[in-house]
Structure 1
């Protein structure tokens, strides 16, 4: 299944030159022509970075398995979610290889949320394997021209599920870092019920913009309830800035579980740079903070 599906991905997307595909998708999603020679907005500069900012470290950090070594080297082991199991073979994802406590199963090369298992005795493992096979067939480079995904060695990882005493998954704090400094923090609220999104500055002041799809001229994700400033904010900012040091722009995702901080993932091109920042002046304001010529 995997080779055929991977071939389909390549046949559908692989022959289109990166620049052509990126400019076409940008115009379709944002409604105006992409300027790659003199990009100004954050969304435009993300497209420029897709084409010109490509290193082996990008691939390592986009890989949810290999990034663990990067995190360990930069900030230590304490921020890593416990790894339960890892394999390159879907057929190994069976009850016998899964612990008796809640876990999450992910593929290491994509941006899907993963499969949560709270009680393995109630899981249809055939369906889990089919979903993993489907996920493994996708290469995000061909589909979105995000180069860092192209050469990831695909595998499946199983991590302990982060959950509080009531079984709730903690908030996901997304730190948008420009040249190694946190500029704004994205918080997704009630993601699996009535999804909302807030943006805060590094001092936890609510910012008057959003970054999401629009439907009938209105943002699909409106601001949610005001959140209390997390007590761990300073520590999360310090961790994010340490992890973001080598990059012009990157998003570092962290979890706060009852005061303990855990690393989630590194994202180089949030929303693939193809969702509206509203009001538009914030797209320009944020874009001006990235110096594409700076080493």
Structure 2
């Protein structure tokens, strides 16, 4: 059944015919989702992905608490900073403009994403309201722009709140942004440092290695850069060297996270320079298993949620 769902999802996302046939059914499904209470969707999805029932009245694990926060921590600021375009203003005021990846273009109209509008450099195209990862462009003369515009039109129509109940995405106005592509001197894509902040303090750093390859790995480190013996969603890679700017990233993440119970603050480290990536309030929507279950409980005990609903 899981393989069938994945196959149908792939046909829907990757083929024109699949999208044409399945999109009307998806729209009906989405309209139905709007009528279902948030708590029911969260409980059902948690059981499906995690294999056991969530206790929202007394959450203990990190994944349970992330889902509790979906329901009970909803601030207007979250909608602003989950928006990959509007968060730039927040970052500039909180830690400084120098940490922003250069913004090269933005628009609400996919028709404007065409060769003549794009910069003569390497860049990445994203939408501001989803987690699709972006479209990397090394040479704009080799890109099938019609295909990219079609993909962007589809992304612009989606609202991720209804399937995940991550409230911050509900009212984001969709927009397309084009940013400079960050690379190392050899042209490779930099690793992604994801600092998970609990109650305004960095609890651990997740490093996604080889994000745009078929050999993507993930390591978790404590604040002293000790590799933690756990796997969250992906296999471990080789132990990597502590970045020279780790202390700077920790300091910046704690400034950014001070107004939130839990948030993941992403940075890139490129030739000694630190760049802000994005903010995520519910990593993997709170539906990602630890291979070693005790770490879900261990991290859960470190995160203090404001009020336990009961």
Provide the TM-score with structure 2 as the length reference. 0.89
Number of residue pairs matched by the alignment: 285
Q: Which residue of 2 aligns with 1:218?
A: none
Given that 1:163 and 1:170 are in contact with CA atoms closer than 8 Å, whether structure 2 keeps it comes out as yes
1:129 aligns with 2:153: no
Kept in 2: contact 1:163–1:257 (CA 8 A)? yes
The separation in 2 between residues aligned to 1:130 and 1:32, in whole angstroms, is 39
Distance 1:166 1:115 in 2: 20
Looking at structure 2, the residues matched to 170 and 5 of structure 1 have their Cα atoms a distance apart, in angstroms, of 39
Q: Does 1:264 align with 2:277?
A: yes
Secondary structure (helix, strand or coil) at the match of 1:211 reads: coil
Rounded to whole Å, the distance in 2 between the matches of 1:267 and 1:41 is 18
Q: Given that residues 6 and 138 in structure 1 are in contact (C-alpha distance below 8 angstroms), is that contact kept between their aligned partners in structure 2?
A: no
Return the offset for 1:5. 9.2
* Change in 2 beyond 3 A, CA 1:204/1:137: same
Deviation at 1:82, TM superposition (A): 0.3
In structure 1, what is the equivalent of residue 207 of structure 2?
187
* Equivalent position to 2:218, from 175, 181, 197: 197
Q: What's 1:100 paired with?
A: 120
Q: Does 1:170 align with 2:183?
A: no
Q: 1:133 deviation in Å? A: 1.0
Change in Cα spacing, 1:12 to 1:118, as seen in structure 2 (3 Å) is farther
Cα distance in 1 between the residues matched to 2:251 and 2:148: 37
Shift, 1:13, TM fit: 2.3
Map of 1:116-265 to 2, 5 A cutoff? 116-191=136-211, 192-212=213-233, 221-265=234-278
State whether structure 2 residue 138 is matched by structure 1 residue 109.
no
2:104 is the counterpart of 1:84: yes
Equivalence for 2:12: none
Unaligned runs of 5+ in 1: 213-220
Q: 1: CA distance between counterparts of 2:202 and 2:304?
A: 15
Spell out, residue by residue over 1:178-205, the C-alpha distance to the aligned partner (whole angstroms, 9 max, x if none).
0111010001112312111110001100
Q: Displacement of 1:7 after TM fit? A: 4.4
Q: 1:73 aligns with which of 93, 109, 112?
A: 93
Structure 2 counterpart of 1:215: none
Deviations 1:92-136 (A, max 9, x none): 111111011001000000011101111111111100001101111
SS in 1 for 2:232: strand
Alpha-carbon contact 1:9-1:139 (below 8 Å) kept: no
Displacement of 1:255 after TM fit?
0.1
Pairs within 5 Å for 1:45-60: 45-60=65-80
How far apart are the structure 2 equivalents of 1:66 and 1:88? 13
Runs (4 or more) in structure 1 with deviation over 4 Å come to: 3-9
Q: Distance in 1 between matches of 2:26 and 2:121?
A: 33
Q: C-alpha separation between the residues in 1 aligned to 2:102 and 2:292? A: 40
Aligned Cα RMSD in Å? 1.6
TM-score (norm 1): 0.93
Deviation at 1:6, TM superposition (A): 8.7
Q: Distance in 1 between matches of 2:40 and 2:103?
A: 39
* 281 and 29 in structure 1: CA distance in 2 versus 1, 3 angstrom threshold: same
Residue 279 of structure 1, aligned match among 289, 292, 297: 292
